[in-house]
C-alpha cells in the first residue's frame, strides 16, 4: 500500500516569496491534515479536511497561509508571502476517518522549508 | 485546555539498556485518546500505540510497553533492551472527544549508542 506522498522534500526561499506544497494521501482516506513542525517542537495542526470540506483551520494563519483539497483527494498548502518564522517541516497526514474515531494518522516524510 | 508534557528533551543510553520516556497530559474531558509516535531521521512519524481513557490496561508489544495511569495523568513508554535502531524522536499526543484535534508534546530525542 502506497503511503502519504509529499513534494517537494526541501525548499529554500527568501522572505516575502511564495511557496506551495503538495500532498497525496493514502487512497480511500477521507481525512487529510497539514501540520507544521518547527525545529525542537511537536507538530502543530494547521488545517484538517474531511473529504473536500474544512473541519478545523483555527490555527492556520489565514493572512498568509491557504490550503485546498478540491476533489477530496490530494491537497496543496500555500504560503504567500513567507516570513522567516515559517521555516519548518510541513507534514501531511491522512486517516480513514477523523482521528478521534480511528486513532491512527499516517504521515508523509514532510516538506522542509527554509526561509532566508 | 489540552496539554501534553514530555519533560525529557534528550535521553542517551547504551544498547541493551532499558529506557522509559515520560508523558504527562492535561485535559478536562473524560473521553480522550493518547498516542505515541516515533519520528526517525527520515522525518516520517510512525504510529506506535493508541489508548482510550477508559482502558487503563498496560500493553506490551515485543520490546515496547506502555503504562497508562489516570491517577497521575501519565502515559509512559518503556523500551526494553534498547537497540541502535530505536534512536529517534518520540512524541506523545492527546486528542479529546470534544475538540477533535491531536495535540503533540515537544518530543524526546532518544539516542541509543552501540
Based on its alpha-carbon atoms, the radius of gyration of chain B, rounded to whole angstroms, reads 14
Mean pLDDT for A31-59 is 92
- A98 pLDDT exceeds 70? no
SS (H, E, C) chain B: CCEEECCCCEEEEECCCCEEECCEEECCCCCEEEEEEEECCCCCCEEEEEEECCCCCCEEECCEEEEEEHHHCEEEEEECCCCHHHCEEEEEEEEECCCCCCEECCCEEEEEEC
Q: What is the pLDDT of residues B15-67, one digit of tens each?
A: 999 999 999 999 988 888 899 999 998 888 999 998 888 888 888 889 999 99
**Is B1's pLDDT higher than 80?**
no
What pLDDT does residue A2 have? 80
The answer for A7, left when phi > 0, alpha when psi is -120 to 50, beta otherwise, is beta
Confidence of residue A9 (pLDDT cuts 50, 70, 90): very high
Which residue carries 474515531 as its cell?
A: A101
Q: Is the pLDDT of residue A3 over 70?
A: yes
| Greatest mean pLDDT range, A40-49, B10-19, B91-100 | B10-19
**Residue A13 clears pLDDT 80, i.e. is over it:** yes
pLDDT of residue B63: 94
Closest CA–CA distance from residue B111 to any residue of chain A (Å): 15
Question: Is pLDDT of A88 > 60?
Answer: yes
Q: Decide which of A68 and A103 is more confident.
A: A68
Q: Is the pLDDT of residue A102 over 70?
A: no
Give the closest residue to A107 by CA, choosing from B85, B39, B103.
B39
Q: What CA–CA distance (Å, rounded) separates A70 from A44?
A: 23
Indicate if the pLDDT at residue A15 is higher than 90: yes
**Residue with more model confidence, A87 or A101:** A87
Are B44 and A98 an interchain contact pair (Cβ–Cβ within 8 Å)?
A: no
- In this complex, do B106 and A45 lie within 8 Å of one another by their Cβ atoms? no
pLDDT at B59: 85
- The whole-number average pLDDT for the span A42-50 is 93
Q: Which three cell numbers stand for residue B25?
A: 497530559
Alpha-carbon gap, residue B44 to B40, rounded angstroms: 7
Residue A75 and residue A93 in contact, taking contact as beta carbons nearer than 8 Å:
no
- Tell me what the pLDDT averaged over chain A comes to: 91
Amino acid A67: pLDDT: 97
Residues in A closer than 8 angstroms to B50, CB to CB, are 103-104
Among residues A110, A105, A24, the alpha carbon closest in space to that of A69 is found at A24
Rounded Cα distance, A21 and A9, in Å: 9
Contacts A107 to B, Cβ<8 Å: 37, 44-46
Establish if A43 touches chain B: CB-CB under 8 angstroms.
yes
Amino acid at each position: 500500500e502506497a503511503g502519504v506522498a509529499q513534494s517537494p522534500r526541501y525548499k529554500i526561499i527568501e522572505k516575502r516569496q511564495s511557496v506551495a506544497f503538495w500532498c497525496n494521501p493514502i487512497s480511500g482516506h477521507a481525512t487529510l491534515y497539514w501540520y507544521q513542525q518547527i525545529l525542537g517542537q511537536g507538530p502543530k495542526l494547521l488545517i484538517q479536511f474531511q473529504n473536500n470540506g474544512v473541519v478545523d483551520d483555527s490555527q492556520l494563519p489565514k493572512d498568509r497561509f491557504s490550503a485546498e483539497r478540491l476533489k477530496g483527494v490530494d491537497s496543496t498548502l500555500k504560503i504567500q508571502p513567507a516570513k522567516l518564522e515559517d521555516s519548518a517541516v510541513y507534514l501531511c497526514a491522512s486517516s480513514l476517518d477523523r482521528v478521534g474515531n480511528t486513532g491512527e494518522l499516517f504521515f508523509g516524510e514532510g516538506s522542509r522549508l527554509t526561509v532566508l | 485546555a489540552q496539554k501534553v508534557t514530555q519533560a525529557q528533551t534528550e535521553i542517551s543510553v547504551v544498547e541493551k539498556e532499558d529506557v522509559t520516556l515520560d508523558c504527562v497530559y492535561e485535559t478536562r474531558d473524560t473521553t480522550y485518546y493518547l498516542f505515541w509516535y516515533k519520528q526517525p531521521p527520515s522525518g516520517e512519524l510512525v504510529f506506535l500505540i493508541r489508548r482510550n481513557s477508559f482502558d487503563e490496561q498496560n500493553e506490551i508489544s515485543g520490546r515496547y510497553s506502555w503504562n497508562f495511569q489516570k491517577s497521575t495523568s501519565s502515559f509512559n513508554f518503556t523500551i526494553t533492551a534498547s537497540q541502535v535502531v530505536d534512536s529517534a524522536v518520540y512524541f506523545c499526543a492527546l486528542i479529546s472527544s470534544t475538540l477533535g484535534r491531536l495535540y503533540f508534546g515537544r518530543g524526546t530525542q532518544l539516542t541509543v549508542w552501540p
